[in-house]
Each structure stands twice: as structure tokens, then as C-alpha cells.
Amino acid sequence: MSDYDYDLFVIGAGSGGVRAARIAAGYGVKVAIAEERFYGGTCVNIGCVPKKLMTYLASYAHHAEDASGYGWDIRAESLDWPKFVARKNDEINRLNGIYENLLKNNGVDIHWGKAVLSGPNTVRVGDKEFTAERILIATGGKPVFPPIEGAKEFGIVSDDIFYLPEMPKRLVVLGVGYIGLEFAGIFNALGAEVHVIYRRDKILNEGFDEDVRVFLQAEMTKQGITFHPETNITKLEKQGDDILVHLDKGKTLKADQVLFATGRKPNSEGLGLEELGIKLAKNGAIPVNREEQTDVHSVYAVGDVTDRVALTPVALGEGHALVDRLYGGQDRYLSYENIPSAVFSNPSVAQVGLTEEQAREKYGDEIDIYKSDFRAMKMILAERDERTFMKLIVHSQTDKVLGLHMVGQEAAEIVQGFATAIIAGATKADFDRTIGIHPSTAEEFVTMRNKVG
Ligand code: NDP
């Protein structure tokens, strides 16, 4: 019998924390979890899940428009925004319940409240103190406001956008990462006037293939979004019902809402870490070694609070692999290579593997490029001027597919399957001998024959 109250005490019932807690408990060890806000963390409550529901909401506007080209008389004339928000909240409540049951059914003790480390093996939650052989921090991250006058007073971050009482008719977005482009696409499709402000000359960042960045920007512009490159916001102020958005290029925009999508910060404040001797990175991230251990070896951390790859499936994978090693006798580590990801913009982007720029840096001229740019079949009768882009990056010496990129409808659904092929080491010849599923958009990936670079 252990001398501790728990073998594992997890702080944070988000993606990584819940996965680690329930899998560890399944191995028969004594586990507790502390949470102060909601079951499921950012992803379930104010991230991936409600965002994806909003992309579905927005997609109906286009479906209704497209249907007329096929002979239907369907109109998406008025949106009952409060109804959507209420339905979305119901679904999130349902998911909160599922997360709670997952923990309870696996025998995890739940302690509600803010948890603070009071020693290398002790956690305080409210007026109770618990001992644990190991403590796992999985407290995630939160959006940050940039230091712009009036930003906090008049602007919002992604946490707020899911609970707006009214749908904004005029939206200004600062930032062209995942969050900025996803909400720009959603509100544009819902009929809002959308302006996107960013300080670079291209949207997305260098983690995305340059062709993808250029193609997506052109498509989103066609959809009606106004992009303001190499621009920043200097100040927000209120004038009646309008928010005045002053730009450094002298222009002023009027908005109903201004979304700051300028990155996220690890949630490591007030946990008692520095008092314990755990030195945090400048942005608050908790540094960990390969075993997910902090400087104090009984204290571990996974997920966004470590600021490595801030994606839900990565947090899940880190938490799961950790407890498989600690309690399941498995020598299993998460691979950070070939992590597929998607931006649920409109059209969406999905990718796995290297960008052309990364591949050229690694392999020089030993790179073959295949590209395809076409109008998907569905768009023709719909008379929608929207194109799809696909790109393969192949290592000419080994024939291995190093990178696969797509901009188009259902990109995430299509790229997920190809990600397995790439992780398995698929070659271009393997792609070529794969029979296409016809007619589909996805088949284009297995019928690319002409090298373009
Ligand atoms: P990103 O880091 O992706 O993008 C931040 C954007 O804000 C960039 O365009 C950045 O510009 C800009 N920016 C940052 N600071 C300033 C500033 N002071 N002034 C002007 N612009 C600024 O962050 P997000 O907030 O979009 O998303 C955070 C993370 O959440 C993502 O990186 C991703 O890991 C995760 N996420 C994943 C999703 C998915 O998988 N679909 C969806 C949503 C989030 P610059 O590049 O010039 O610094």
C-alpha cells in the first residue's frame, strides 16, 4: 500500500488530464482530478467542439445558396442566433456529463476547485490537502489580448465568441492563425462583413506551405472577406453602438465586435510551481523532459501548458502515453513527426508532413512537387466560384511522400486517412497504384501524374 492518498493527482479536467486520469485509473491505481471550471477543458467548452458546430452552422448558408443551382428552392433567410447558442450549450452540457461519467465510472475521485501545489507530493484544493506520489499538470492555455489601447475594454477573444448575445453584422479580426481564419470564415458565411488585420504579408504562419497560404487567401477573398496585410490596430474606441478600429495605415473601421486571435498562453499562474522551484519559460510554459517531468520529478505536465504542439489530439496522446509508461508497463512515446492538422476556415486547410519550404531546407533539390488546382464537381452546378488545391511533396531519392497539403471542402476528412499512409512511409508509387474512389475530390491525390517542380 502506498503512503500517499493518491498514486496520481491530475490538475485540470481537459483533454490531456481526463485521458491520463481515466486510463491510469483503468490500470488500477488510485487517481484524483481537480477542476475549477468545466469538464472537458477548452476543446469541449470554448474551443474545437463549439467552433466545429459553428462551422456546420455557417455551412448551411452556402448549402442553401448552392442548392438553387440543382433546382431546389431553399433559402437561408434568417438565422435564429440565440437558438443556435442555446442548442450548442445543450450539446456541451451533454458532453460535460459524458466527461464526468468517464471519470466516475473509472473510479477517479473528483475535487472541484482551484488546485495549488503545496509541495512536491501535496496538492491543496480549497481547504483540503492531498498527498500524491505523482502530480500531473494539464491546465491548458488561454487566449491573450495584445497590448493595444481599448483591446480588453471593447474587444473579445475566442472564449467570448461562443456566447455572444447577438450575431455581429460587422466583425474585425486581428491575427491570421487558426483561430482568426476559422472565425473569419464562419461569420463571413453567416453574412457578416468581415475584415481581417495582420502584420505579415501572408495569412497563416511558416508552418503552412506557402502555396496553401496564397491559395487560401485568394479563396477567402473571393468569399467576401477583406484582408488588410502588413497592418496593425492602434486603438479601439466606442462611438455609440460602433467600435471604432483605428489602423496604423490611417484607416478606421466600424465594427460590432473585434476578435483578438493573437495566440494563446499556458495556464501556469497561481499553481505554486515557482515556489516549488519549477522555473517557467518566459511565456509561462512548463518545461518538461522526455518523460514529461518538470524540474521536480514527481511533478509532470502535458498538453498546452507545456506549449509544444497546442492541439487536442497531442494533449490526449501525451497524457495517454505517459500513464501507459507509468502504470501500464508500456515503453510508448508520442511521435511529434507528421502530426496532421486542419484549419476549419472556409474553405478548410489540412496538411500532414513537410511543407515545400521545409522539405527544400532538409533535402535541397531532391524534391519533386505535384500540384492540382481544380473546381470540385459539386461547385459546377452550384455555380460557386470556389477551387480546390492539392499538393504532394515527394523525396526523389526514396520516392517517399514527405508532405501532403489541401485547401478545399472536407480537407480534414480527406487528409486524415492519407496521414496514416504517410506515417506508414507510403511512396509516390504507392499513391499511384491506389485506385481512386470515383467520383470524389480525394481521388485527385492518387491521380497526380505531372511533376511541376
Ligand atoms: P496562432 O499562433 O496560430 O496565430 C496568432 C496570430 O496572431 C498570428 O497571425 C500572429 O501574427 C498574430 N499576432 C500575435 N501577436 C500579435 C500582436 N501583438 N499584434 C498583431 N498580431 C499578432 O494563434 P491562434 O490564437 O490562432 O491559435 C492558438 C493555437 O491554438 C494554435 O496555434 C493552435 O495550436 C491551436 N488551435 C488549433 C486549432 C485547430 O487545430 N483547428 C483551432 C484553434 C486553435 P505573427 O504570425 O506575425 O506572429
Same domain, 256 and 124: no
* Position 304 in a domain: yes
Q: How far is CA 129 from the centre of its chain?
A: 35
Give the mean pLDDT of 156-181: 98
Average pLDDT on 398-427 reads 98
CA of residue 79 to ligand 1 center, whole Å: 29
> Do 116 and 86 fall within a single domain?
yes
- Distance from the alpha carbon of residue 418 to the mean position of ligand 1, in angstroms: 26
In short, whether 229's Cβ falls inside 6 Å of ligand 1 is no
Ligand 1 binding pocket includes 179 (Cβ within 6 Å): yes
420: Cβ below 6 Å to ligand 1? Answer: no
Ligand 1, atom 7, residue with closest C-alpha = 262
Pocket lining: 312 vs ligand 1, CB cutoff 6 Å: no
What is the count of structural domains for the chain?
Answer: 3
The whole-number pLDDT of residue 2 equals 77
C-alpha cell at 449: 501524374
Task: Kindly indicate the confidence band of residue 251, based on its pLDDT and cuts at 50, 70 and 90.
Answer: very high
pLDDT value at 337 more than 70: yes
The one-letter amino acid at 153: E
**Domain annotation covers residue 336:** no
281-335 residue pLDDT tens: 999 999 999 999 999 999 999 999 999 999 999 999 999 999 999 999 999 999 9
* Annotated catalytic residue 438: yes
What is the average per-residue pLDDT within 24-52? 98
Q: Residue 1 pLDDT > 70, yes or no?
A: no
Residue finishing a domain among 244, 262, 280: 262
CB-ligand 1 contact for 198 (6 Å cutoff): yes
User: Which among 199, 231, 312 is the best mutation to test ligand 1's pocket, defined by most ligand atoms within 8 Å of the CB?
Assistant: 199
Give tens-digit pLDDT for 145-162.
999 999 999 999 999 999
Q: Is residue 334 part of a domain?
A: no
Q: What is the pLDDT of residue 453?
A: 85
pTM above the 0.85 mark? Answer: yes
Q: Which atom of ligand 1 is nearest to the CA of 147?
A: 18
Instruction: Classify residue 431: in a domain, yes or no.
Output: yes
Last residue of a domain, which of 209, 231, 262? 262
Closest C-alpha to ligand 1, atom 2 = 263
Both 77 and 158 in one domain: the answer is no
Beta-sheet pairing, 341-343 with 348-353:
antiparallel
Q: Is 176 in the pocket of ligand 1 (CB under 6 A)?
A: yes
Euclidean distance between CA atoms 112 and 158, whole angstroms: 25
Q: Among 264, 307, 339, say which to mutate for ligand 1: greatest number of ligand atoms within 8 Å of CB.
A: 264
Name 243's bridge partners: 238, 255
What CATH number did the domain enclosing 399 receive?
A: 3.30.390.30
Q: What is the pLDDT of residue 73?
A: 93
- Minimum-distance ligand 1 atom for the alpha carbon of 148: 18
Q: Say what the pLDDT of residue 291 is.
A: 98
Nearest CA to ligand 1 atom 30: 310
Cell of 92: 456541451
Measured distance CA(341)–CA(350) in Å, rounded:
6
Q: What CATH number is associated with residue 131?
A: 3.50.50.60
Do residues 138 and 15 both lie within one domain? yes
Which atom of ligand 1 lies nearest, measured to the CA of 262? 7
pLDDT reported for residue 249: 87
Task: Report whether residue 262 contacts ligand 1, using a CB cutoff of 6 Å.
Answer: yes
Q: Is the model's pLDDT at 202 over the cut of 70? A: yes
Same domain for 207 and 158: yes
Q: Which 8-state DSSP code applies to residue 352?
A: E
Is residue 344 in contact with ligand 1, taking CB distance under 6 Å?
A: yes
The two beta strands, 31-35 and 109-112, are parallel
416/271 Cα distance (integer angstroms):
36
Pairwise CA distance, residues 23 & 335, whole Å: 19
Probe residue for ligand 1, chosen from 161, 178, 186, 203 as the CB with the greatest number of ligand atoms within 8 Å: 178
Atom 41 in ligand 1: residue holding the nearest Cα: 343
Atom 4 (ligand 1): residue with closest C-alpha? Answer: 177
> Ligand 1 atom 1: the closest Cα is on which residue?
177
Residue 383 has pLDDT above 70, yes or no: yes
For residue 276, the CA-to-ligand 1 centroid distance in Å is: 31
The sign one gets for the Cα dihedral 359, 361, 362, 365 is positive
Say whether both 18 and 107 belong to one domain: yes
What value does the mean pLDDT take over residues 399-415? 98
CA of 181 to the centre of ligand 1 (A): 9
Q: Which residue has the cell 499562474?
A: 269
Query: What number of CA atoms fall less than 13 Å from residue 40's CA on the CB side?
Result: 19
Provide, rounded to the nearest whole percent, the portion of the chain with pLDDT above 90: 98
pLDDT in tens, 70-119: 999 998 889 999 999 999 999 999 999 999 999 999 999 999 999 999 99
The answer, yes or no, to whether any atom of ligand 1 lies below 6 A from the CB of 148, is: no
pLDDT average, residue stretch 130-140? 98
β-strand 122-125 against 115-119: which pairing, if any? antiparallel
- State residue 379's pLDDT score: 97
Let me know whether 131 and 272 are in one domain. Answer: yes
Quote the ligand 1 centre to 366 CA distance (angstroms).
Answer: 32
Whether residue 161 is found in the same domain as residue 257: yes
Ligand 1 binding pocket includes 155 (Cβ within 6 Å):
no
Distance of CA 45 to the CA centre of its chain: 13
Pick from 218, 151, 196, 205: which is nearest to 178 by CA? 205
User: Is the separation of the CB atoms in 183 and 346 below 8 Å?
Assistant: no
Is 208's C-beta closer than 6 angstroms to any atom of ligand 1? no
Residue 138 pLDDT > 70: yes
For ligand 1, say whether the CB of 177 is within 6 Å of any of its atoms: yes
pLDDT tens for 338-373 read 999 999 999 999 999 999 999 999 999 999 999 999
Q: Do 231 and 110 fall into the same domain?
A: no
Are residues 191 and 247 both part of a single domain?
A: yes
Residue 100 backbone phi and psi in degrees, to 5: -60, -45
Task: Look up residue 422 and give its three cell numbers.
Answer: 504517410
Residue 217: give the domain boundaries: 151-262
Does 276 lie in the same domain as 135?
Answer: yes
Average pLDDT over residues 37-54: 98
Q: Which residue CA neighbors atom 23 of ligand 1 most closely?
A: 263
Q: Is 26 exposed, middle or buried (0-12, 13-18, 19+ CB in 10 A)?
A: middle
